Copies of this chain bind each other. A is one copy, B any other.
């Protein structure tokens, strides 16, 4: 019944504990559902404490029965929130006491997701703990995928390819963006898609991506991506709208799904008829950028260099104002890590200077946005291998011109 093999979670635990040593943290407290799942194989309500050395303990409020069935980690009932500090001290005595008596214990936690209210209450009930931001090390560990994880991302890639096939087969003039999206969502759902793609960023939401045509695709929005989309209303200002698709419009099909927890992300452009020359030219530049990125994609390459090189190519083509969004609403990255969440590390952006490593999985998505005409571009998800990369995306890479 355990959802992970023992080997799998031991790899993950070892990676985290190595990071704890490097960051001089005595332990790590995980509160977010995705983090709990990654380290225990179970996503129940509770807290995972991982000491720098030795076995972690999963403190579960609800459902303990389910956590006991699914988790590989030592799993116990969380007595009460108030007494959580006492429970920790009892379970990890050597960590909390030295010869001189009590000592302060530095614990990294997922402060990028944990609500401030919970943080302030934890500070209160864990008086011996100095709770510090451990989100960087958690994101770093997760950035390198195991074979188990890669297999699941590949399964998601197959499902999204089936959905695209169905979407293209059903595409016709007068269809709304939402209708096209719904056709593809149904395919993915029946294949086991969990209904949404998880994002780590505060206030970021994604269901199954962005399906949007012409100027509606270029409507700017809060969403941390190169395409926005009109969306269904001001209450969901992103992605598909109820707008009908017409001939010769660029249709952005930027979709993904979540299979067994793992997400994939890909973008293709379709058109009923053909693109206007300016969009065709921009699309060709996007393809040239992704080819250039691929030629550099190997262990040792710096993520920020991939972004800067792409930026230079966009500039050279006279398209820098349209690259990764338009004007003030541009985003400053070329791609992003992907796994249990769609916004993982590394980000292909300035400041990401740790070299690529084998096992990293990255979506690269050069796109150009034109307020009057829409968004064109391409996106594949890649695995970094020992010698270069493997493309996990399986959909044919082409501009889909539908002649109907």
- Indicate how many identical chains form the complex: 2
Q: Is A116 an interface residue (CB 8 A)?
A: yes
Determine whether the beta carbon of B111 is less than 8 Å from that of A115: yes
Which chain B residues lie closer than 8 Å to A66 at the CB level?
219-222, 228, 237
Determine whether the beta carbon of A196 is less than 8 Å from that of B194: no
Q: Is A63 an interface residue (CB 8 A)?
A: yes
Which chain B residues lie closer than 8 Å to A189 at the CB level?
178, 181-182, 185
Determine whether the beta carbon of A182 is less than 8 Å from that of B192: no
CB contact under 8 A between A329 and B111, given known A43-B237, A222-B45? no
A-to-B contact residues, CB < 8 Å: 3, 31-33, 37, 41-45, 62-66, 70, 109, 111-120, 133, 135, 178-179, 181-182, 185-186, 189-190, 192, 194-196, 202-203, 205, 207-208, 219-222, 224, 228, 232-237, 242, 258, 260-262, 328-329, 340
25 contacts between A and B (CB under 8 A): A31-B202, A37-B235, A41-B234, A43-B234, A45-B222, A62-B328, A63-B220, A63-B329, A65-B328, A66-B221, A66-B228, A70-B234, A112-B117, A113-B115, A115-B115, A178-B189, A179-B190, A194-B235, A195-B196, A195-B208, A196-B196, A232-B260, A234-B261, A235-B260, A235-B261
Q: List 20 additional A-B contacts (Cβ < 8 Å) besides A33-B205, A113-B115, A116-B118.
A: A31-B203, A32-B202, A32-B203, A43-B222, A44-B222, A44-B237, A45-B224, A62-B220, A63-B222, A63-B329, A64-B328, A65-B328, A66-B228, A112-B116, A116-B116, A182-B190, A194-B232, A233-B261, A234-B261, A235-B262
